[in-house]
C-alpha cells in the first residue's frame, strides 16, 4: 500500500492516451490498491491511472455518501456504450487542486468495463448522479481529456486556474459537443 504522487494540470502525461490493460496481473492489482490509497489520501471520489503517471486504462471510484453508501469500484478498459440527455455539473479534479468549475456532462451513461477479477461488467448510471459524472470524468482522463475541456465559462475558469498557479485552458482543447449543447439549449447557464 502506497500513496502515489498526483500529477498537476500542465504535466504532459495528463494529455496522453492510456494503454489497454491486457491482463489483470499482480502488478495491476497493486496499482489499483495504491490508487485507492492515493485517492483517499487526497480526499477524492475518483482517480485515473494517468493522474499518477501510469498510462493504463484504469480508474477507481468511491462515490459513497452518508445518505447513499456504495461499494468502491474499479474500472479497467472502460467504454461508454450509451449516453443520454445532458446536465451542467460543478466539478473539480485532484490534478487541479482547489479548482471547481461548471462543465457539460451526459445525464445518463452506460459503461462496459472489466473488473479486478478480469470479468466484463456493464453498469448504467442515471440522473446526473455523482457516480454518473465521476465515470465520465475519470474515463476522460484515459483519453487525455480533462474536465476543463468541457468548460461552460472559459474565462472564469482561467481566472480560477491563475489563482491556483495553474496554466490557462488551451482553447484548442475545448471540446465541440453539439449533442450536449443541443440537450442543454433550454437550460439557463
Instruction: Output the average pLDDT for the chain.
Output: 95
Q: How far apart are CA 74 and CA 97, in angstroms?
A: 23
pLDDT at residue 67, as a whole number: 83
Contact between 85 and 182 under an 8 Å Cβ cutoff? The reply is: no
pTM equals 0.95
pLDDT band at 183 (very low <50, low <70, confident <90, very high): confident
How distant, in Å, are the alpha carbons of 31, 85, 102, 151, 158 from that of 181?
A: 37, 10, 14, 12, 21
What is 12-183's CATH number, 3.30.470.20, 3.20.20.80, 3.90.45.10, 3.40.630.10? 3.90.45.10
pLDDT at residue 189, as a whole number: 53
Is residue 138 part of the annotated active site? The answer reads yes
Residues in CB range of 181: below 8 A, 6 or more apart: 104
Sign for the CA dihedral angle at 37, 41, 42, 43 comes to positive
pLDDT band at 188 (very low <50, low <70, confident <90, very high): low
The residue from 54, 138, 179, 182 that is catalytic is: 138
Domain ranges of the chain: 12-183
Tally of helices (H runs) and strands (E runs) in the chain: 4, 7
- On the question of pLDDT at 186 being above 80, the answer is no
- Span 64-87, pLDDT tens digits: 888 888 899 999 999 999 999 999
Amino acid at each position: 500500500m502506497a500513496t502515489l504522487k498526483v500529477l498537476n494540470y500542465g504535466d504532459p502525461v495528463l494529455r496522453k492516451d492510456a494503454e489497454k490493460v491486457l491482463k489483470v496481473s499482480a502488478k495491476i492489482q497493486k496499482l489499483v490498491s495504491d490508487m485507492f490509497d492515493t485517492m483517499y489520501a487526497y480526499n477524492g471520489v475518483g482517480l485515473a491511472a494517468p493522474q499518477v503517471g501510469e498510462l493504463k486504462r484504469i480508474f477507481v471510484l468511491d462515490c459513497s455518501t452518508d445518505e447513499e453508501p456504495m461499494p468502491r469500484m474499479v474500472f479497467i478498459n472502460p467504454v461508454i456504450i450509451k449516453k443520454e440527455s445532458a446536465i451542467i455539473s460543478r466539478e473539480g479534479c485532484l490534478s487541479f487542486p482547489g479548482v471547481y468549475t461548471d462543465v457539460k456532462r451526459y445525464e445518463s451513461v452506460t459503461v462496459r468495463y472489466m473488473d479486478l477479477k478480469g470479468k466484463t461488467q456493464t453498469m448504467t448510471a442515471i440522473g446526473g448522479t455523482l457516480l454518473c459524472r465521476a465515470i465520465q470524468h475519470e474515463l476522460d482522463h484515459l483519453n487525455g481529456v480533462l474536465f476543463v475541456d468541457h468548460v461552460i465559462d472559459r474565462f472564469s475558469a482561467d481566472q480560477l486556474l491563475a489563482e491556483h498557479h495553474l496554466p490557462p485552458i488551451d482553447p484548442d482543447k475545448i471540446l465541440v459537443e453539439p449533442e450536449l449543447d443541443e440537450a442543454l439549449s433550454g437550460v439557463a447557464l
